[in-house]
């Protein structure tokens, strides 16, 4: 069966449907496109790991079908828990060794919002914002030659501000806002109540990000020999992924690890522009147990104990 037929027949099968979506712009846009094309009973946001907490929220709705979009970390126990009581289909593009046992899987290469748009349809502007969030400007322009990239960029920023400021609850606000906007302009200009809320998040995050990007000059722990930098942002906000994404381009050729020991569990993000490095493999080898993502961008959660091990081991691995 083609990916298109597989997704379509899963959605046409009937019975309560829950969509679990990754809490970033790509995942939110993928979920919104599914909601545009079919009836969804409940949307459940998810961080980098689909864990028992997420699985429990899903199962409270007693679904017959669970569609998971753009979630990199699928914890085996939580997936098995879902699969006992519902049909589960995962649509994803994260690098992984093998799909979890007993779970239907559509593995794609492109951003998941773009994949869902191609397989199922829905408004192109939504897929464009998700694609912009996942793959950046150049890729997005190739995928959407007629798209308004300026609007896509600001919508992407607004959607990501949900999880950056408020975690899973922020991602719920972001999805609701996206689904209630009738045009990209209405969304980007903050003309609905939900979009206005996201604009407010944006401003708070902008201020804090600016402070951190300036603070890194003083408090970033640079290892020149290894071209490796550790930065503990010590912030009340969950900005590790955003800060590491900015630093990647400011410190080309470096490996950047950003984490936040003010939060528990500790979020960790790593980025690099180096093409000869696979961060998923490297950080897993260094002992980062929840590592998920792409060769040049990974994230997950850790503890202060594990962090000590990972930073030390990583420094050794990169010392020739
Ligand atoms: Mn994602």
Please give, one letter per residue, the 3-state secondary structure of 92-119: ECCCCCCCCCCCEEEECCCCHHHHHHHH
Q: Reply yes or no on whether the pLDDT at 96 is more than 80.
A: no
**pLDDT value of residue 197:** 97
Q: What distances in angstroms separate CA 50 from CA 9, 101, 175, 257, 290, one per listed residue?
A: 24, 15, 18, 23, 11
Contacts of residue 121, Cβ cutoff 8 Å, sequence gap at least 6: 33, 36, 37
Provide mean pLDDT across the span 273-299.
95
Alpha carbons 293 and 119: distance in angstroms, whole number: 23
Provide mean pLDDT across the span 56-80.
96
CA of 71 to the centre of ligand 1 (A): 6
Provide mean pLDDT across the span 43-59.
96
Q: Reply yes or no on whether the pLDDT at 320 is more than 90.
A: no
CA of 54 to the centre of ligand 1 (A): 16
Segment holding 302, helix H or strand E: strand 297-302
Alpha carbons 264 and 267: distance in angstroms, whole number: 8
Locate all alpha helices (DSSP H) within the chain, ordered by sequence: 3-12, 25-37, 52-60, 76-85, 112-120, 124-143, 149-180, 184-188, 193-219, 240-250, 279-285, 304-317
Q: Are 112 and 129 in contact (CB under 8 A)?
A: no
Alpha carbons 258 and 239: distance in angstroms, whole number: 9
Percent of the chain with pLDDT over 90: 90
CA of 205 to the centre of ligand 1 (A): 19
Two structure tokens written together for 56: 């429990």
Q: What phi and psi values does residue 187 have, to the nearest 5 degrees?
A: -65, -55
Contacts of residue 160, Cβ cutoff 8 Å, sequence gap at least 6: 24, 25, 133, 174, 242
CA of 241 to the centre of ligand 1 (A): 11
Q: Reply yes or no on whether the pLDDT at 10 is more than 90.
A: yes
CA of 20 to the centre of ligand 1 (A): 12
At 236, the pLDDT band (50, 70, 90 cuts) reads confident
| Mean pLDDT, the chain, whole residue set | 95
Alpha carbons 189 and 199: distance in angstroms, whole number: 9
At 164, the pLDDT band (50, 70, 90 cuts) reads confident
**pLDDT value of residue 308:** 97
**pLDDT value of residue 159:** 97
Contacts of residue 296, Cβ cutoff 8 Å, sequence gap at least 6: 248, 271, 272, 273, 274, 275, 277, 279
Two structure tokens written together for 130: 């998700």
Which domains can be identified in the chain, with CATH numbers? 3-200 (3.90.1640.30), 220-317 (3.10.310.40)
CA of 251 to the centre of ligand 1 (A): 23
CA of 215 to the centre of ligand 1 (A): 27
CA of 23 to the centre of ligand 1 (A): 7
CA of 240 to the centre of ligand 1 (A): 15
**pLDDT value of residue 106:** 95
Provide mean pLDDT across the span 133-143.
95
At 93, the pLDDT band (50, 70, 90 cuts) reads very high
Alpha carbons 129 and 140: distance in angstroms, whole number: 9
Q: Reply yes or no on whether the pLDDT at 101 is more than 80.
A: no
CA of 55 to the centre of ligand 1 (A): 18
Q: Which residues surround ligand 1, an ion (CB under 5 A)?
A: 22, 24, 26-27, 70
Provide mean pLDDT across the span 89-102.
84
CA of 69 to the centre of ligand 1 (A): 8
């Amino acid at each position: 069966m083609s990916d298109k037929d597989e997704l379509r027949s899963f959605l046409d099968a009937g019975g309560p449907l829950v969509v679990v979506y990754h809490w970033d712009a790509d995942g939110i846009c993928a979920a919104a496109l599914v909601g545009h094309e079919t009836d969804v009973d409940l949307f459940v946001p998810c961080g980098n790991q689909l864990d028992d907490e997420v699985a429990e929220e899903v199962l409270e709705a007693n679904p017959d079908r669970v569609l998971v979009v753009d979630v990199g970390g699928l914890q085996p126990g939580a997936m098995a828990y879902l699969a006992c009581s519902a049909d589960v289909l995962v649509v994803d593009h994260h690098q992984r060794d093998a799909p979890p046992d007993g779970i239907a899987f559509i593995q794609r290469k492109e951003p998941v919002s773009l994949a869902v748009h191609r397989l199922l349809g829905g408004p192109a502007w939504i897929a464009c914002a998700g694609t912009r969030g996942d793959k950046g400007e150049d890729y997005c322009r190739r995928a959407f030659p007629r798209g308004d990239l300026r609007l896509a960029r600001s919508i992407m920023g607004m959607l990501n501000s949900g999880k950056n400021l408020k975690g899973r609850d922020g991602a719920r606000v972001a999805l609701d806002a996206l689904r209630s906007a009738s045009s990209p302009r209405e969304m980007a200009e903050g003309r609905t109540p939900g979009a206005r809320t996201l604009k407010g998040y944006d401003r708070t995050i902008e201020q804090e990000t600016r402070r951190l990007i300036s603070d890194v000059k003083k408090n970033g722990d640079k290892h020149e020999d290894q071209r490796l930098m550790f930065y503990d942002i010590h912030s009340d906000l969950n900005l590790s992924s955003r800060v590491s994404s900015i630093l990647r381009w400011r410190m080309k050729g470096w490996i950047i690890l950003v984490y936040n020991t003010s939060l528990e569990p500790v979020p960790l993000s790593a980025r690099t522009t180096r093409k000869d490095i696979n961060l998923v493999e490297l950080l897993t080898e260094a002992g980062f147990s929840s590592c998920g993502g792409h060769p040049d961008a990974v994230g997950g959660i850790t503890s202060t104990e594990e962090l000590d091990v990972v930073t030390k081991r990583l420094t050794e691995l990169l010392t020739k």
